[in-house]
Structure 1
Amino acid sequence: GVIEQSFTVTVTGSDVSQEVNVAPAFNSTTVTEAESGTPYNYPIRTSDADGDTITVTGETLPDWLSLSAAQGLVVINEFMASNGETLADPQGAYDDWIELHNPTTSAIDLGGMYLTDDLSSPKKWEFPDTTLSANGYILVWADGDEGATPGLHANFELSGDGEQIGLYDRDDHGNAVVDTLTFGSQESDVSKGRILDGTGSTVTLETATPGLANSPDADSSRAAYVLSGTPADEDIGDHDVVLKAVDGKGGVTEQSFTVTVIFANAVPEFTSMPITDVESDVLYSYTIEVTDADEDEVTVTAETLPDWLVLSSDVGYVLTGTPADEDVGDHDVVLNAVDGKGGVIEQSFTVTVSVYTPTPNFDGVGQVDFSDFLLFASQYGKTIEMDLDFDRRFDLDKNGEIGFGDFIMFALAYGSS
């Protein structure tokens, strides 16, 4: 016995879309390098074509990393340390700038946070009441014009020879490190920034994008999770990370990568104390001493020098020069020590030049007497151009030779004593 059952199954487009679930996707570029002692942050961006709510979990994480909802995350996203003609500030000046980015879904209050160009001085410039919108960007002008309006103007400038940038949390949060970076020598009108925004290493950008996404193909999704932590020296090496994005409807996507922890570069240190006083017509000489804990080769450059000073490096680094009477006054000096690996430190001081006034009391004992005359006689007739042992103490009229004019001045002083 045989019987047959015939029927038709009709598949419609609307039914297909309801039945097929699209798995979520990771849209963020992984951050694969970290420095010991420096905070690591990876803002995680995901998307789901079905609009499903996505949950991200850490399947494999090293002990020093933790996964959490992205709240209050701000990154140093782009900077330009030598702005010649790229972008003028609201006052019309082409100053250095720093771009901050909020890759999260919530606005962040920057008020009370700190920005600095010296990681050893984290509270250099404090943000006024400022809100950084969700997925937003904001520029800070590093021009030393603190208080200028409109715009945010820090009380420091960036060095094109290399420096540091640090963002630190408010006092009531213990001034915790939010984000830092160290950079080397910069080209004029060339910026460096993160690709994609808020993630990854800082790279040279083909086109500066202040206040905008660093890549035209940047994903517009916002970070809902962040992977963060601070590795220690004992964490140096490779660490496997596996993240899982789940949409609650069976859709699962993994993101696997390796984070390599490297030893943090130590910043050079000036160990010499600058000489800050000199008399006119007297040789100034300051031997500069620097050290580097990593034993990197350190280069010293002069950012600011008066015309009468020269920095030489024939045998070590020495700052020398002889100021004239017209140089009397204060002179700013700024030196930079760079280790070639992004470590930069600055030494700033003021050299005060005072007028040199010779005195006939050459031996400095009692009054002007016969012993001073004998000293004077031993130098009589010498000139600064011809005699290596020319002693300027005896050039009373400061004309470069010890002659009759000096004798008259000495005789008058000798006769009155």
Structure 2
Amino acid sequence: GLQNSETIGNVTLTSTGSPATASAGGSPYTITASNATGGTFNAANYTITYNPGVLSINKAVITATADNLSRLYGASNPPLTIAYTGFQNGETSAVIDVLPTASTVANAVSPVGSYAIVPSGGSDDNYTFNYTNGTLNVTKATVSVTANNQIRIYGAANPPLTISYSGFQNGETSTVIDVLPTASTMANNTSPVGSYVITPAGGSDNNYIFNYNDGTLTVNKAAITVTANNQSRLYGAANPTLTITYSGFQNSENTAVIDVLPTAATSATVLSPVGGYLITASGGVDGNYTFSYTDGILTINKATLTAKADDKSRIYGQVNPTFTITYTGFLNGDNAIGLDVQPNPQTTATLASNVGSYPITLSGGTDNNYTYTYQSGTLTINKATATVVVDNNTYTYNGSQKVATATTTPSGLNVTFTYDGSGTAPTNADAYDVVGTINETNYLGSGIGTLTINKALAIVNIGNLYQNFTGSPKPVTTSTSPSGLNLILTYNGSATVPSSVGSYNVDAVVNEGNYTGSASAVLVINGAPTSNGIANVNVNEDASDFNINLYAAFDDVEDTDPNLNFSIIQNTNSSLFASTVINSGILSLDFAENQFGSSNITIRATDTGGLFVDQAFAVNVASVQDDPQFVSAPVTGAVQGQLYTYNVITSDPDPTDTWTISNLIALPVWLSLTDNGNGTALLSGTPTNGDIGTVGIALGVVDDKGNDDTQFFNIVVSNSNDTPFFVSTPTTAATQDISYTYFINVNDDDVGDVLTITAPILPAWLSLVDNGNKTGVLSGTPNNTNIGSNIVQLRVTDNSGAFSNQDITINVDNANDAPFFTSSPVLIVNEDEFYQYNIITTDPDVGDDLTLKALSKPIWLTLNDNGDGTGTLTGTPLNANVGSFSIVLNVEDQSGANVNQNFTITVNNTN
């Protein structure tokens, strides 16, 4: 009813019930309005009518939420409680007429899981209830799993590893466990003596968690039998090395594993007598073995004592001397006095025994510590003295030995003579001092005398009485009977040997100790022949034979013509002649074809005495024009693929001529002819497969006068096996972990050859496939170990065995590899126990720097990066940390490649 858009600012409202404290049970309540004021209106302008209203109070809503609770499997349910929200006016659950109650279907035998806690049953005048269920979480109970302690001997197999349990609920046993834990230990039959943890692990169950308690496997020492080996030595010698034999080693071990080896000892010393002595072993110490000792025996055997009978001597007919013994080999200061029974020396020689050597033998010795080696001595019986009278003898020299004679006392003894000190009877004429010496078995003695030999008569012969004059002395020759006697020669009474032509009286007188004699003769010295001269010969080239009478050209006073001997001693140009022959005093000159020029020839005439005279003359052959000619024989065989050469040689008898060499018919393409301009040429070339067969060649030579010659021949070109070859160019670069391929192509000029591709040098990461059609494939994927230069040698071989190689160096570049974890994390730890996980990572790329970090971990764990790819994750969980924790570790290399290790650590509660 307000006019003009006016407003009322305030109205006073009152109620029979306070809006804040009035209960819903007293509703409804009257609301009275009064005292309108404020705003834009003026109360004077209006008649105000106040109409009452009604205050209705409805029940407020309370949310009753069953509290979430938890307990262990097998335990009684905890008290079920309810939390409230929505109370008005500061009220609490104390004002509620009937409190709600909470209940659940879970009981002590309910398995692990979540169960609803349901609130219900509440009633109140002022509130209605909005119920929210809670959850009772039945969590796994803890079962203590304890590995039972075990014992075994070192080297034996581990015993069965068993487990004991405690903490089962509701009278249950291990039969209810879904997956039973198993026990394991790092110890094996080679593990040394000590204690090893038996670790239980691997159990899982819906209603239980496992608190693992390690057991201990005790590995006790195994027993070794130590036997001192039996030994032996000789009396007085040092003890041999004392050795030991072992039995009972485990795991194929030997003495090398023993910490302190046992030693063997004996009470025997170098002075100990012959007998048996214990060898005892002791002192062995080892972590894995105990020692059982067995004694050995050291047997001391008798030493060898050498007893040698001393050498003795006496005169023939006397009694034997006393025999003595010399000993070698005594030990420990022993001597002959200490021997049990000394040897007895004896000999076979008696008073009547002849001069000579007799053995002194030993026998009969015995001793506890020695065996005897006997060495015989020698009793030498020397000769007695006798008398010798030498006769004086005279003989005439006849070349035979002359022997002296003598008488002895006692008579009949053999005597040996020397002549002027020599034992050989003399033969030469002379007087000799003779000494006679008895050479008898039992006697010695000597005497002296003289033996005379007179000279014998010899015959002398003189020879070589006709000699040629040479201007040098011409001695005669002589001989004697007997032969070889020395002579004194004179020529016309002089000792000088004559050299001039003439006759000489020669006298020869024997000059020898054993002979006398002489002879005379006449020596004639002969002169040389003389020359009358030979006229020079002048003819034209190719002239007929020319004869010269040499009998007319030479004379000799002493010899007739037929007795002269002719020879050519010089021919300065023998090429002018086909032959030069002397027959019956006629020199025949046979001129060589196409030869001209001059030669000086010297003829020698020799007489029967060997004296000669030389005569020279000239032969002049005038030239005429000649044809050039081929001198060389052609090479008629060639081999495909090999250089053919024929060195052509021509000549022209005319020295001033010039000439050329050419081919008269066209040469095959593979051949070329080069005229060297000096009368020679080179025909050469290398035939190919297409040139195999026979080709005709015609060569010609012509001089500057138009004279010529030809040479016709065939060249037969034979096939030869060609070496196959690689056509393809290899791929020389590869990258680690990326496939490498090289497609190979080969070929051979020999059509139809079968080619085989092989690889004499091939890294293991590569493989070669020969497709059998002159192609192949070399392929493979290099890994990290192949980075760098890889040497490859490919070979193609034809069916004749010819081959060629293709040497390749493949450079493999590195590709960064991600690092990775090689260690396995520790997954379970008990509260208040120290946890440690020794982290080990690696990277295939040698030298990469690795960084460890923890992307996710609880605060009670600390990560330490050692900077070398290893680290430790350590910490001690408290009671508040009981439960499971997700761990994410990361390792990253310097190039950013990285990998995570995700695992969960379970912290077990302990009472």
Q: Which structure is larger by alpha-carbon Rg, 1 or 2?
A: 2
| Normalised-by-shorter TM-score class | 0.3 to 0.5
Higher helix share: 1
Q: TM-score, normalised by structure 2?
A: 0.19
* Greater RCO, 1 or 2 (C-alpha within 8 Å, sep 6+): 1
Higher strand share: 2
